[in-house]
Amino acid sequence: MARSVGRIFSGFRCFGSLPFGNPLLKTQCSGVLFRTTSERTLVHVLPKIFPRKPRDFSLPNSSWGKEMMELYNHYNRLSKEATEGQEDHGEEWTRLPSYNRTLKYATGGAYLSKIIQSKARLFTRNIRDPGAAFEYVLFFRQDKLKCVCIFQAGHLLEGPPGHVHGGAIATMIDTVTGTHASLLSAPVMTANLNVNYRSPIPLGSTVLIESILDKEDGRKMYISCRVTSTDGSKLHTEATGNCPQCHFHFCHATLCIVTLLLLLFLHAALFLSISVSNLLRR
């Protein structure tokens, strides 16, 4: 009896610290508690239901075509080689991870119900079928003056027959310029976006979206963007955007600090009044 209770507890200990990514430890733990087939299945299913890390959508999946993979490997190599100290490339790039939830980290949804907050998903990352809509990965140069996005447009983004919808292209441009401006400063909102469509983008093709910082003027970030074929020979779209830093984030931070200071002050005042009343009673 004592042995079996001990076994269960050791199993719980194992389960609690189960590093789902480590197959060796997984087998060791499953040997202690997970004995039957259904229990073993649990070990494999649970991590998928309650993953420890959110899924990074900027990593390759089976839908990525040859061009997308080649470009991803190219920029990834430049990133890796740069971090390994090989400086002969001149340009250092960093891949930006991409998750489908932001409300977990930001509190912009002051007017949103808890249900909406829990169900909110990033517009470009909310279609489960890989390759159906927006497949993209963003890299930024170390000096943050330049960003490059490799974008593969899926079949759900059709506008004119066989070509990508202008709104979907604008969405991707907004994502790149918005992300770029946020990297350069505090969170931003796009105030203005001018888009010129030069030539249609065939559905299913991969394109490059490159953004550069034109000018920084106080809170405002002026960013220009070009969408081209992967070899740069064909210009699809040009855009310029103005992304000012958000006021409300500053207000939120200030509000938090003021509330914290107020609480500290109240605690100190309470402590003092209790101490004084104790002294007087003596």
Ligand X SMILES: CCCCCCCC(=O)SCCNC(=O)CCNC(=O)[C@H](O)C(C)(C)COP(=O)(O)OP(=O)(O)OC[C@H]1O[C@@H](n2cnc3c(N)ncnc32)[C@H](O)[C@@H]1OP(=O)(O)O
Q: Which stretch binds ligand X (CB under 6 A): 128-136, 170-178, 224-232, 260-268?
A: 170-178
Pick between residue 32 and residue 170 the one whose CB is nearest to ligand X.
170
Kindly tell me which residue out of 69, 244, 249, 252 binds ligand X, with binding defined by CB under 6 A: 244
Pick between residue 159 and residue 244 the one whose CB is nearest to ligand X.
244
Q: Which segments within the chain are labelled E, that is strand?
A: 93-96, 134-141, 146-153, 192-197, 206-217, 220-229, 235-244
Q: Which of 174, 214, 217, 231 is catalytic?
A: 174
Kindly tell me which residue out of 149, 178, 227, 239 binds ligand X, with binding defined by CB under 6 A: 178
In three-state secondary structure terms, 91 is coil
Q: What is the dihedral of CA 273, 275, 278, 282, to 10 degrees?
A: -130
Q: Which segments within 113-191 are labelled E, that is strand?
A: 134-141, 146-153
Q: Which stretch binds ligand X (CB under 6 A): 85-93, 107-115, 149-157, 184-192?
A: 184-192
**55 part of the interface to ligand X, by CB under 6 A:** no
**190 part of the interface to ligand X, by CB under 6 A:** yes
Pick between residue 29 and residue 133 the one whose CB is nearest to ligand X.
133
Per DSSP, the residues of 220-276 read EEEEEEEEEETTS-SEEEEEEEEEEBPHHHHHHHHHHHHHHHHHHHHHHHHHHHHHH
Give me the phi and psi of 237, to 5 degrees please.
-145, 145
Give me the phi and psi of 234, to 5 degrees please.
-115, 125
Report, in Å, the least distance between residue 59 CB and ligand X.
16
| CA-closest candidate to residue 152, choices 68, 227, 71, 232 | 68
174 catalytically annotated: yes
**179 part of the interface to ligand X, by CB under 6 A:** yes
Q: Which stretch binds ligand X (CB under 6 A): 8-16, 156-164, 188-196, 250-258?
A: 188-196
Distance CA 273, CA 277 (A): 6
Pick between residue 42 and residue 189 the one whose CB is nearest to ligand X.
189
Kindly tell me which residue out of 43, 112, 120, 189 binds ligand X, with binding defined by CB under 6 A: 189
**191 part of the interface to ligand X, by CB under 6 A:** yes
Kindly tell me which residue out of 247, 251, 258, 270 binds ligand X, with binding defined by CB under 6 A: 247
Between residue 194 and residue 233, which ones bind ligand X under the rule CB under 6 A?
Answer: 218, 220
| CA-closest candidate to residue 190, choices 199, 201, 179, 200 | 179
Report, in Å, the least distance between residue 108 CB and ligand X.
10
Residue 185: exposure state from Cβ atoms within 10 A (0-12, 13-18, ≥19): middle
Pick between residue 13 and residue 247 the one whose CB is nearest to ligand X.
247
Distance CA 200, CA 166 (A): 9
The structure tokens listed for 198 are 């030069």
Kindly tell me which residue out of 192, 194, 259, 275 binds ligand X, with binding defined by CB under 6 A: 192
Whether 192 and 172 have beta carbons less than 8 Å apart is answered as no
**241 part of the interface to ligand X, by CB under 6 A:** no
Pick between residue 43 and residue 112 the one whose CB is nearest to ligand X.
112
Beta bridge partners of 136: 151
Active site residues: 174
The residues binding ligand X (CB under 6 A) are 174-175, 178-179, 189-192, 218, 220, 242, 244, 246-247
